[in-house]
Structure 1
């Protein structure tokens, strides 16, 4: 048996089809058609990944995403018919890891789920390590600490942070980051990476005017992380 997946989708035909395809691949699948059903399931179960629609009968999937981002460390893949740029950015800023818009190819959905889970396992490979005198990483629990303070990174932000750290000051393009962190190559837009970079930058500031860690961006070269304080 593979990982467990929670599908939150109000359209019964889509829900049944996705469930059938995932079970055929060996996943254990839980389903919910409303926010209330999803919340009830999450009281007693801890899925490895959530596939979440935005428009649900009793509210927005963004609400559930924010709740999970604050209390759990579960990757969230949005599957939505809303293709507006602003809505996609909102879903990522709410804590989503990636998104697919309807209509979609089921093979693409399966590949995205597999990539998310594979990368999650790869980043759990090691225990606590000290990167600098003040920066420590707990790869097993996917947490980062600066001077003992938890940076409160979600799993995708942690993997993005770790990838930038391991680049050893080399610039990485958005496409390269997507390939390394999300586990897939893409020729699509790179809003997913840009939004996660923005969220990561905000958390690295630690509420200070001068951040001890900064993410530098140069057009045509990409991103790199700089630790400006090692005291």
Structure 2
């Protein structure tokens, strides 16, 4: 859920702010809505490229280990190990359409991520609690298929003394085609692979559909809050 919100909100907010700043710093006609849409698309493309350059897509971690323990480890100690952790597709933002209406101060968008692959070669957790040992081991891959965000963000635009914008309201419709799961999970020597794969591939998508309106409402609230905080910070610079 956090990933969905971050992708949706950050792309929209960065796009709008940079698009208006680009207009403010060039001689582009503010009444040229097609040019505005082009600016927004270019900013999304730049954002996608920045994800790649930051090393987040593709992401690969050969080995990472975390250890947390109390001063007396027999009371509590936990060792978390990941090997060959990978992720692909987060930066593959496909812009089906992005349009901005100067008359209504409304940004309409249709953006999707076709496929996000995540996998781990080996993942394990070994925990000691009051001398008792608990173990969990996992491996495998999960693929999230076509996350799509369609909607509108309405803005209030102030021209005097300088161009500034704030988000007023939003309508967002999030859909996801499905999840493919091929995960192996063993907890305390009990194989829970089938149950985990069923949960990820069936229960999670079904829950998203059941609570679709509530998820959209949450995204709308978060988008307005995040965009306005972001724009205020940028416009103060």
More strand by share: 2
Query: Taking CA–CA contacts closer than 8 Å with sequence separation of 6 or more, which of the two structures ends up with the larger relative contact order?
Result: 2
Q: Would you call these one fold, judging by a TM-score over 0.5?
A: no
State the TM-score, normalized to the length of structure 1: 0.24
Q: Which has the larger radius of gyration?
A: 2
